[in-house]
Structure formats: structure tokens, C-alpha cells
Amino acid sequence: MEVILPNLMMSISGIRGVIGDGLTPQLIVNFTQAFGTYLGGGKIVVGRDSRVTGPMVKHAVMAGLISTGCDVVDIGVCPTPTVQMAVMNLKARGGIAITASHNPIEWNALKLLDSSGMFLDEVQGNNVIKAVNEAKFRNVAWDQIGKSEIYEQAIDDHIKAILKLNLVNPDQIAKRKYKVVVDCVNGAGGTILPALLQQLGCEAIFINGEPTGLFSHKPEPLAENLTELCEVVKAEKADIGFAVDPDVDRLAIISEQGKPFGEEYTLTAAVNYVLSKKDGPIVVNASVSQAVDDLAVKFNTRVYRTKVGEIYVAQKMKEVKAAIGGEGNGGVILPELHLGRDAPLAIALILMQLAESGTKASELHLSLPQYFQAKNRIELKELDVSSVLDGLLKKYQTEKTDTIDGIKILWPDRWVHIRPSNTEPIIRVYSEAKTMEEAEALGFQLIQDVKQLLKSK
């Protein structure tokens, strides 16, 4: 079940919208009352990114939860993966991460977590949405309302858990004395990355490091938004640059030459390192680069693909006991830490790979299978998505196709994936090939196919 309005979206993973124009305090209270009613009370962890609307949203969240008899543990401004880990560590009934991730500054959102620290699945999420729609909330008596407490150790707990991983050797990284530049886009990264990099023995230079929530540039960690970071990496003669999104679950990498790896290569690099140390399958979504499949061949393992969305990847990882997984937007999931995308973890894994191999960041990038992706979009408007997808299936019936999430058409060295967005009223068209020109041509061809199908209706 999913509701999409211009300034408000409600789905199984939570609710997001524009503050004051869609996402109101009343709606936030109702939504969290529904979540508290669904959980039936118990301990709920609440954390938020640095958005300026965060305090207002947090107070509405706490009011809704406490009114249903839930006890709130407030862990303050922190990354979303820190909230996920705190739910596990504190043995909570669930959690709420208050963040609109990479959406513009006027947006905010609630991401709902179950007792394992994972996002809600479809059954759980639909139960919460049903409770919202029916407005049947568990309003407890005065002597049964919940309590609230502040827990200040969640970020330290997160860092300690990363440093204790068998895959991470802090001393080995520290010996390299890496000079690292980090762009936190004034998000929650500033609450965890200075301490993490200090404990890894790195000389860290931060730009946009204060968690003010006043984003210094577009918050999505894409190459076009990271020009300042690229320039500072070169000017400082740094070994590597990192950029995170406001809630610190996505990571982008910049080489010592000031060149972005590309968002697909965060996961690819992490997979390359983890599979060199442990056996097990890989789980990724349907849009992730074929580079991961090439690495699976190299390490004699298997790739499982899911629908786009962290919960689908995490569920499959749990099912098949994956060694590693994630999404191609810079999201890395390591199951022995927790089943969620985690940028601080990804930083530690990338630095370990550099420290162990003795290579430069640019050399690491070039050592990985090389592919190029083009990403396009088609505005939905009154578009009948199912008829378009059916038409494409018929047109490409002689080719290899995958319909786990929209339609993916595959050839030996290239593919194109067309699917409706989970977060916007658009169709996404992702294409990949050995050169950017080929990838762009493939995407253009699919868009023309869609237009032709619409003309024939």
C-alpha cells in the first residue's frame, strides 16, 4: 500500500513530506500513534538527522509514542544506521529514524524499524498504514503513558562495533597515516565520522562538517554535487575523499586525483574486499552494476538480486546468509554488523582495502570491473505503467529479461532497467554498458520505445 501526493508520501517504510505543506505535526502524531498501537507498547528508539525541522518532528513523534504507552529512548542527532544498531543493542521493540535522507531541506520523514533494526516489511508496514487510515489508536490512561529517557552512548556503541569487526584492523589503517577529506553536507555525519577517523589514525579534514542541517549543496552524494570536495582533496594532497548524505547511510568516494569513483563503485569496492576475506553470496538490488556479477565469478560465489529498496535486500541477505550486500547508490550492508546501509562501516572497509593492498585510491578504482551507468527519468503524469511494461516485454520477448522489479533487459555486456520509482511519481530508466556513450544510447532507445508505445495507445 502506498500513497503519493505532491508534498507527502506514505509507504511501508514510513512517511515523508514537506514540512508545513503535507507533513504536519498532527499527521506525525497520528502516524506514530499508529506505530505505537501496532507495536503494543514497549521501548522505542528515536534518533534524527540534523535537519532544522528535526526538533519539531521529534517532539511530535515522542508525543504520539508516549500516548500509546511506549517508552521512548532519545539518542539525539545521529546517523540512521546508528538508530538501527541502537534498536538491536538496547533490545527495543522498534525504532524511528527521523530523516528525509537526501531529499531537499524542506522535507522530513519518519523511517520505521522493527525489533531487529530493519525497516518494516510489506506486511508490517501495511498494518501501520491501516491503523493510520482507521484512526484506531491505543490511547492509554494517565497512569499507563510511556516515559522518555536520553541515551548518549549510541554513536560510541556504533563506532566500537565497527572497530571490533574481524574485517577491520584499526592499527593497520593507522600505520598508513592517511590524509582524508570528508564532506558531511552539514548532516549527521559530523556526529560520528570525526571520532571514527581519529580512532582509525587518520588525519581528517572536514568540509561542511557541522551538523546544522543547513545543507551547503544538494544533499545527494552525486558527482555533480561534490565539486568542492574534489577540489579540496587535490589542494590538500589527500589520499582519499569521502562524502555522505544527511543520514549517513550512503557513501561516495573521491580518489587522490580528485575524481569521483561513481556511486556504484562504493559497493563494488566493498564487495571486492569482503569477498577476499570470507565466503558467501552477494545480495544487491536489480539496478546494481554488473561489476558485482564479475566479482562473484572472480570469487566463485553467487549474486542474488531483489527489488529496489533496503528492506528487500536486507531480507534476502538474512535468508541466504549473505557475506555482503547493498544498493548501488553507495549503500553497503555487512550482516555481522547489522542489516542496514552504513556509510561509517563502508569508510572503514575501503580504508582497510587500501591499507592492506598499499594501493592508491585511483588504482583501487581502476582494478575493479569497469562499467558506466546512465540514469534517466520519465514523468508519470497519467502514464499507465503496467501497459508500458507489458509493451516493452512484448517488444523484447526474444531477449533475456528480468521482471523482479519493473523490467530489466539484459545482454552479455550491457543492460537497461525500467521501473516505477518508490519515492516519486516517475519512471526510472537505468542503463549500463562498457562505455558511457553506449549506456546513454541504450537508455535513449528505451525512452523512445516508451514514447512509441504511448503513441500507439
Domain range enclosing 377: 372-455
Please give the Cα distance from 80 to 86 (Å, whole number). Answer: 10
Residues 11, 13, 50, 101: which is the catalytic one?
101
pLDDT at 1 over 60: no
CATH of residue 420's domain is: 3.30.310.50
Angle at 350 (CA atoms; ends 349, 356), nearest 5 degrees = 85
Instruction: Identify whether residues 272 and 309 lie together within a single domain.
Output: yes
Q: Is 101 annotated in the active site?
A: yes
| Shared domain check, 137 and 39 | yes
Number of domains present in the structure of the chain: 3
CATH number of the domain to which 191 belongs: 3.40.120.10
Buried b (16+ CB within 10 A) or exposed e, 121-137: eeebbebbbebbeeeeb
Asked if 167 contacts 280 with a C-beta cutoff of 8 angstroms, the reply is no
Domain identity same for 351 and 414: no
Task: State how far the Cα of 276 lies from the Cα of 317, in Å rounded to an integer.
Answer: 18
Q: What is the pLDDT of residues 95-115, one digit of tens each?
A: 999 999 988 999 999 999 999
242, three cell numbers? 569521502
| Residue 160 φ/ψ, nearest 5 degrees | -60, -40
Among 152, 185, 210, residue at a domain's last position: 152
In terms of domains, do 104 and 121 share one? yes
Q: Which of 166, 162, 213, 204 is nearest to 49 (CA)?
A: 213
Domain match, 376 and 308 both: no
Q: Strand pairing partners for 334?
A: 338
Shared domain for 308 and 234, answered yes or no, is: yes
Residues 231 and 312 in one domain: yes
pTM above 0.85, yes or no: yes
- Per-residue confidence (pLDDT) for residue 383, from 0 to 100: 65
Is there a single domain that holds both residue 356 and residue 391? no
Cα–Cα dist 39/64, whole Å: 13
Which has the closest alpha carbon to 220: 100, 52, 314?
100
Over residues 344-381, the pLDDT tens digits come to 999 999 999 999 999 999 999 999 999 999 999 888 66
Cα 383 from Cα 4, distance rounded (Å): 15
**Residue at a domain's end among 367, 391, 410:** 367
Q: Rounded to the nearest 5°, which phi and psi values hold at 443? A: -65, -40
- In angstroms, the CA 213 to CA 376 distance is 29
- Does 38 share its domain with 122? yes
Same domain, 338 and 384: no
Residues 330, 402 within the same domain: no
- Work out the pLDDT band at 10, boundaries 50, 70, 90: confident
Give residue 273's pLDDT: 98
254 closest CA partner among 349, 181, 343, 352:
181
Calculate mean pLDDT across residues 449-454: 85
Same domain, 86 and 197: no
